[in-house]
Amino acid sequence: MLACTSGGPDGAETDAAETADTSSGDGDGDGDNPGDGDGDGDGDALRPNWHQDVAPLVTEACQGCHTDGGIAPFAMQDYAQTAPWSAIMADQAEQGLMPPWHALETAQCQPPMPYKHDARLTDAQIQLLRDWADVGSPEGDPADAAPLPSPPNLDLANPTTTVTMGSPVSIDAQGNTLDFFHCLSLDPGNPEDVYLDGIQLIPGNREIVHHVLIYVDEAAASASWPGGVLQNCGGGSGVSGQLISAWVPGGLPMEPPAGVGISLPAGSRLVLNVHYHATGGGPTPDDGTGLALRWSTDKPEYGSIFTLLGAPGAGTSLTGPFSIPAGASDHVEEYEWVVSSNGNAFPDSVEARIWAVANHMHLVGVDMRAWIEDRDTGEQTCLVHTPNWDFNWQRIYEYDAPANQGVRVKAGDIVRVRCAYDNSMNNPALVNALAEVGLDTPIEVNLGEGTLDEMCLTAVGVGIKGL
């Protein structure tokens, strides 16, 4: 339930544990410990308690990350592991910080349909956590335990194959240079044309993998790279390749709706453009980054493309050259892209539907929104709004709707992307990033790939009927 970062606040575990161990629960002075399940001394377990009430919620909502070996810094798989954090769990749930979910309904944005995998808790679930903390986080009686749901599985279901990078890379800071871009070529091994309906990026070393772009190399030109690695390949694929997906921290497997597939011709290779960010602690290896793929040989009704809109993708700036002054606390960059029919992708005769969106900024960013304006009516449809931007928790938001009910897009429509930035020392993420390179005051920030550069980029997954 807590953020999957390096740990909780100083003293948080001790303080919460003391609360759990010393509360009397019923206030009758008999010294009963609510954590032991004695409750009021009359045989009734104090409620809510772990076994009867809280364990099912934690299993369902938290154990995707908080498991032994998971991406969170500690596990929450039993009472002893979870109870010390009960007060902080309630605080973070009430603030909407955990479970992490950043695509919100706001006054500026009412998305046209729900998103899949919405991790937000209900008001009743949040109140349950608060009530549990307030009564001293009792354990209850294991004999009364409620049935537990299956923990969430963050892995791609039923992959057809899994492929891993051909040779390791090592990332080490070079002076103040912490960001590196290496391209990895993977052979999916498909002897015939297939259509992907599931893609999961497997980061080999989460300490240094910043984000990943995934391209199809139809000509298999990347097969000539020694060890399957092209170092310092910049922000692209290193070959002529079509972008099909991306991975960012917090990302789940990408699964298009039924009837949508991504073409992977026979003999193609897949190229991962991996943005590595050095830890500054010496050479750090990555020998395990790869992909889990699920495919079918049946051509789907909709083919899918991925388009990057904003900066440095497609679009025109509405605010002038990209530059965020040092110390600016409310700086805005805005872009628009007029949908064209170049390549016959979006003419009126072709049905094109948006099925996925993802915002992307770096550490100066604080608020980002993308919307589409109909060319005929001027009606605006908000695609996604992330008003409390957190670089550590990004994801591709997929609409929970059939392919033919996604947001229609056609030539002449306008897509707009608006990004707000805080380039002051009031931005904790910026303070930490500056400290990494020995700085304690803001600097001017410009457009670029590095962590201390910025972007204003929305990725849009579009299903095109008959593609």
Whether pLDDT at 19 is above 60: no
Whether pLDDT at 71 is above 90: no
By C-alpha distance, which of 265, 277, 234 is closest to 392? 277
From residue 142, give the alpha-carbon distance in Å to each of 40, 60, 114, 181: 17, 19, 37, 51
What is d(CA 58, CA 264) in angstroms, rounded to the nearest whole number?
A: 39
Mean pLDDT of 27-53: 59
> Tell me, what's the pLDDT at 25?
38
Out of 39-53, 94-108, 133-147, 231-245, pick the least confident: 39-53
Confidence of residue 343 (pLDDT cuts 50, 70, 90): low
Distance of CA 440 to the CA centre of its chain: 29
pLDDT tens digits for 392-440?
A: 888 899 999 999 999 999 999 999 999 999 999 999 999 999 998 899 9
pLDDT tens digits for 145-184?
A: 999 998 888 899 999 999 999 999 999 999 888 899 999 9
Find tokens 């679009």 and name the residue: 315
Q: How many CB atoms lie within 10 A of CB 41?
A: 12
What is d(CA 238, CA 270) in angstroms, rounded to the nearest whole number?
A: 11
pLDDT tens digits for 379-403?
A: 999 999 999 999 888 889 999 999 9
Confidence of residue 234 (pLDDT cuts 50, 70, 90): confident
The two tokens of residue 115 are 């998103």
Mean pLDDT of 239-263: 89
In degrees rounded to 5, what are phi and psi of residue 347?
A: -70, 160
Question: Whats the size of the chain, residue-wise?
Answer: 467
> Tell me, what's the pLDDT at 6?
32
Confidence of residue 28 (pLDDT cuts 50, 70, 90): very low
> Tell me, what's the pLDDT at 465?
92
The Cα diameter of the chain in Å comes to 78
Which residues, listed in sequence order, are joined to residue 304 by a DSSP beta bridge?
463
The two tokens of residue 421 are 């930035």
What is d(CA 124, CA 278) in angstroms, rounded to the nearest whole number?
A: 42
Going from the N-terminus, what domains does the chain have, and what CATH number goes with each?
A: 12-101+119-144 (no CATH), 157-299 (2.60.120.310), 301-467 (2.60.120.230)
Mean pLDDT of 362-370: 97
- Ranges assigned E (strand) in 278-413: 284-286, 290-296, 302-311, 316-317, 323-324, 331-338, 352-360, 365-373, 380-386, 397-398, 407-408
Mean pLDDT, the chain, as a whole number?
88
What is d(CA 434, CA 7) in angstroms, rounded to the nearest whole number?
A: 21
- Top mean-pLDDT range of 204-208, 234-238, 368-372: 368-372
pLDDT tens digits for 313-330?
A: 899 999 999 999 999 999
From residue 212, give the alpha-carbon distance in Å to each of 154, 263, 382: 18, 19, 26
| pLDDT > 70 fraction of the chain, expressed in percent and rounded | 89
DSSP 69: T
Whether pLDDT at 375 is above 90: yes
Distance of CA 101 to the CA centre of its chain: 9
What is d(CA 450, CA 437) in angstroms, rounded to the nearest whole number?
A: 12
Whether 276 and 418 have beta carbons less than 8 Å apart is answered as: no
What is d(CA 49, CA 274) in angstroms, rounded to the nearest whole number?
A: 45
3-class secondary-structure state, position 123? helix
What is d(CA 426, CA 444) in angstroms, rounded to the nearest whole number?
A: 15
Q: How many CB atoms lie within 10 A of CB 5?
A: 11
Whether 41 and 32 have beta carbons less than 8 Å apart is answered as: yes
This prediction's pTM: 0.83
What is d(CA 294, CA 254) in angstroms, rounded to the nearest whole number?
A: 10
Indicate the burial class of 124 (C-beta count within 10 angstroms; 0-12, 13-18, 19 or more). exposed
Confidence of residue 457 (pLDDT cuts 50, 70, 90): very high
> Tell me, what's the pLDDT at 433?
92
How does strand 302-311 pair with strand 260-264? parallel
